C-alpha cells in the first residue's frame, strides 16, 4: 500500500476554542502549498484510490485542493482518526479497510501524522522520529507484514525547487520519484 501523508497547509493563527479552531481554513500560503503538492503528485503520475482527511476545515480544504490536479474523482472521506487528537489504533483500523495495493492520500495534522508515520516505519525497539512542516508530503510504503518504509518526505521549499527544475528540464528527462 502506498500511503501519501500530507500535513495540511498553512492556516494562520490557531483559535483559542476547539470549535472555532476546527473551522479555521487555509490562508493564501496554505492554498499555494497544497497546489504545489497536487502539481508534484500529478507530475509523478500518482492517482489515488482513496483520499481520506481529518474533518477539520484546514485539512479537508487541503485534500480538496490536492485532489484536483491528481484527477481524483471519488468522494473525500472524513475521519476522526486523522484529527489532532486521533488515536493510532483507529488509524490502523482505517488502513485495514484499504486494499493492499491502494494508493491513499491521508491529510491531517501535526503531531499525530508524524507519530503515525514514526510508528509505521519504526522497528521493534520503538518508533522513528519524523517532522512534517505545514504543506509537507511524505510517501510511506506499507506491506502486509513487517515495518513500513519511508520512501521520501518533502517540505514546501523542496517541492518548489523540484517543480522549478521540472519546468526547466528538457521533455522526457523527468526523474522518477514515485
Q: Is 153 in contact with 136 (CB distance < 8 Å)? A: yes
Cβ pair 150, 140 in contact under 8 A: yes
Task: Indicate whether 107 belongs to any domain.
Answer: yes
Question: Is 71 inside a domain boundary?
Answer: yes
Please count the structural domains in the chain.
Answer: 1
For residue 137, CA distances in Å to 89, 153, 155, 171 come to 22, 6, 7, 25
Show the domain range for 68: 2-167
For residue 157, tell me if it sits in a domain: yes
Q: Which residue's entry shows cell 522526457?
A: 172
Whole-number pLDDT of residue 137: 97
Strand locations in 16-164 (E): 50-53, 77-78, 103-108, 137-141, 149-154
pLDDT on residue 73? 93
Mean pLDDT in order along the chain per 10 residues (178 residues): 96 89 92 96 96 97 98 96 95 92 95 91 72 93 84 92 78 55
In a domain, 172, yes or no: no
How far out from the chain centre does Cα 3 lie?
A: 8
- The pTM score is 0.90
Counting every residue written for the chain, the total comes to 178
Q: Is residue 178 one of the residues assigned to a domain?
A: no
Q: 170: how many CB neighbours lie within 10 A of its CB?
A: 6
Q: What's the rounded Cα separation, in Å, for the pair 61 and 25?
A: 7
CATH number at residue 16: 3.40.50.1240
Q: How far apart are CA 168 and CA 72, in angstroms?
A: 27
Q: How far does the chain reach from its first CA to its final CA, in angstroms?
A: 13
Residue 36, in any domain of the structure:
yes
Within-domain flag for 173:
no
Instruction: Extract the C-alpha cell encoding 128.
Output: 522513528
Pairing of the two strands 137-141 and 149-154: antiparallel
Instruction: Tell me, yes or no, whether 44 lies in a domain.
Output: yes
Alpha helices in 12-107 (DSSP H): 18-22, 28-43, 57-67, 88-96
Give the pLDDT score at 55.
Answer: 97
Amino acid at each position: 500500500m502506498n500511503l501519501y501523508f500530507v500535513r495540511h497547509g498553512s492556516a494562520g493563527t490557531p483559535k483559542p476554542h476547539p470549535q472555532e479552531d476546527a473551522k479555521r481554513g487555509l490562508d493564501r500560503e496554505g492554498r499555494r502549498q497544497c497546489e504545489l503538492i497536487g502539481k508534484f503528485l500529478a507530475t509523478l503520475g500518482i492517482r489515488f484510490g482513496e483520499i481520506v482527511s481529518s474533518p477539520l476545515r484546514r485539512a479537508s480544504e487541503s485534500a480538496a485542493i490536492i485532489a484536483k490536479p491528481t484527477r481524483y474523482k471519488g468522494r473525500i472521506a472524513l475521519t476522526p482518526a486523522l484529527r489532532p487528537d486521533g488515536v493510532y489504533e483507529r488509524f490502523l483500523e482505517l488502513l485495514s479497510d484499504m486494499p493492499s495495493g491502494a494508493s491513499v492520500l491521508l491529510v491531517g495534522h501535526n503531531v499525530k501524522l508524524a507519530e503515525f508515520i514514526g510508528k509505521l516505519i519504526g522497528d521493534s525497539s520503538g518508533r522513528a522520529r519524523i517532522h512534517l512542516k505545514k504543506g509537507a508530503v511524505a510517501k510511506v510504503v506499507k506491506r502486509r507484514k513487517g515495518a513500513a518504509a519511508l520512501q521520501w518526505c518533502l517540505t514546501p521549499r523542496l517541492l518548489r525547487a523540484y517543480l522549478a527544475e521540472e519546468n526547466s528540464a528538457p521533455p522526457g528527462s523527468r526523474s522518477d520519484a514515485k
